[in-house]
Amino acid sequence: MANINVTTPANHVLLISLNRAKALNALSKSLLVDVAAALDEAAANDEIRCVVITGDDRAFSAGADIKEMPEDGFPMWAAADRLKAWKTIEKFPKPLIAAVNGYALGGGCELTLLCDIVIAGEDAQFGTPEVKIAAFPGDGGTQRLPRAIGKARAMKMVLSGEFIDAETACDWGLAVEVTPKEQTVARAIEIAGIIAVNSPIAVRMAKEEILMTYGRPLDESLSLERKLLLWQTDDHDEGIAAFVEKRPAKFTGK
């Protein structure tokens, strides 16, 4: 896949690196489709338990590809492959960690909102500057940003188009840690490795349950949480046995 590099830097961990440096990793349609295809493969591969997505030193991603817009015209926003790619990212069932150095703007910022954990390099800048090209964060940003950081902060970001730095992103809850720039990806991989040791089925169910909070009324999501019968898994038996026997658990995802 020309737009991305895919490697396995640690046991059970997949690293997707966006590879359009010349365009600050702008999310062309084909790049989005490549990311979605890599995630589809990762979802189907039991060996992969956690995915890290990153850009390069200068940019995580500068957002939708503005130069593609006049080419494709307005219908590009509703293009089936584009919408399907975003849906695949949104529905990815395993933990997805963003390692952000440099710009995470527009669709690039929206991509971080779909990640479960965001690690920001100290020079990271998050922003939704779509208003500057008379658009708005239309790939979920207007809905997810206020849920993530609150209405007032989201309004300031979206209506002004101003960027926020890594520390602010961390204070506001867009990112969870700020690292020195050269350690961002390594730290994300380290966290992925810690998650990957846990029972994949428990991790997957936990992710699903946490995300339920955004889409459902509390009563409904609480009763769904109760219905997810985690204690019936082999992994749960193994986790208990390992604790009692004072040994590391060997989880199989069953």
Q: Does residue 24 interact with ligand DAK by CB under 6 A?
A: yes
Which residues belong to the active site? Answer: 64, 107, 110, 130
How crowded is the C-beta side of 106, counted as CA atoms within 13 Å? 21
Q: Closest distance between ligand DAK and the C-beta of residue 44, in Å? A: 28
Q: For the chain, how far is it from start to end, CA to CA, in angstroms?
A: 31
Nearest to 186 by CA among 76, 63, 97, 125: 97
The only residue of 4, 15, 18, 23 in contact with ligand DAK, by rule CB under 6 A = 23
Q: Does residue 29 interact with ligand DAK by CB under 6 A?
A: no
Span from 57-65, 165-173, 185-193, 206-214 in contact with ligand DAK (CB under 6 A): 57-65
Give the residue closest to ligand DAK by C-beta.
106
Report yes or no: 81 and 112 within 8 Å, Cβ to Cβ.
no
Helical residues (DSSP H) of 115-165, grouped into ranges: 141-149, 151-160
Task: Identify the burial level of 139 via C-beta atoms within 10 angstroms of its C-beta, where 0-12 means exposed, 13-18 middle and 19 or more buried.
Answer: buried
Q: Which is nearer to ligand DAK, 98 or 196 (CB)?
A: 98
Cα separations in angstroms, 198 against 4, 233, 253: 28, 13, 9
Q: Does residue 67 interact with ligand DAK by CB under 6 A?
A: yes
Q: Closest distance between ligand DAK and the C-beta of residue 191, in Å? A: 27
Q: Which is nearer to ligand DAK, 44 or 80 (CB)?
A: 80
- Assign 211 to helix, strand or coil: helix
Q: Does residue 64 interact with ligand DAK by CB under 6 A?
A: yes
Pairing of strands 125-127, 103-105: parallel
Site mask, ligand DAK, residues 92-111, x = CB under 6 A? -----------x-xxx----
Binding site for ligand DAK (CB under 6 A): 23-24, 26, 62-67, 77, 103, 105-107, 129-130, 132-133, 135, 138-139
